Amino acid sequence: MTTPVYKRVLLKLSGEALMGEDQFGINRASIEHMVEDVVDAAKLGVEMAIVIGGGNIFRGVAPGAKGMDRATADYMGMLATVINSLALADAMEQAGLTARVMSAIGIDQVVESYVRPKALQYLEEGKVVVFAAGTGNPFFTTDTAAALRGAEMGAEIVLKATKVDGVYSADPMKDASASRYSHITFDEAIEKHLEVMDAAAFALCRDQKLPIKIFSILKHGALKRVLLGEDEGTLVHL
């Protein structure tokens, strides 16, 4: 078996990727497609923790939250990530993986609360840990939660799985000459105003010397190629 270049990773999934071709909610085919890639990664022996967004259901800055208190809207968004986490964990269990959902807000009748030593134990046992409810605080995105949990878990890299296959010099949908960066430094990303992650998440990763890899979750097998160190997506590093 080919040896992966990472032993432990934090995978950040966007909630929007769960929608597939639907306008909102969870598309079963899309979630099964993602889980296939996670299963392949697990077979490599990589310890994996996952943070998933809630933008397919609700988010604090969405048009539907207009006029709503921002903190209240953000708490609703956290609950949306719990729904996504449960759906993802269920799909992984059905695919033969053992998954554990841990929430940053207390809803013990649904999922267990986040406790760092327990999460580390699960990872060492080969379980996939899904972190729900972001950081547990309003005004912080799930990008920030991914950076935070990645640092807490001792992950070697944060893998941000999106709908695009990396960071480009310009919008590839508008500029045919746009080129994909295979790698770029944190300072270069800041200088070029590249929207890699939100500012708080980006700063935390940089300060903790935690590299970020941006790749497309819609490309089947991309996650495995990233873990094997192949030229997939864009690496942001010091």
Query: Residues forming the annotated binding site for UMP?
Result: 54, 74, 135-142
Give the position of tokens 């490309």.
Answer: 219
Residue ranges at the known binding site for ATP: 12-15, 55, 59, 162, 168, 171
Q: Report yes or no: 207 and 140 within 8 Å, Cβ to Cβ.
A: no
Single-letter code of the amino acid located at 159: L
Q: Which residues have CB under 8 Å from 126's CB, separation 6+?
A: 42, 47, 98
Binding residues: 12-15, 54-55, 59, 74, 135-142, 162, 168, 171
**Torsion, Cα of 84, 89, 94, 96 (10° steps):** 150
DSSP symbols for 181-216: -SEEEHHHHHHTT--SS-HHHHHHHHHTT--EEEEE
Q: At what angle do helices 70-94 and 28-43 cross, to 10 degrees?
A: 60
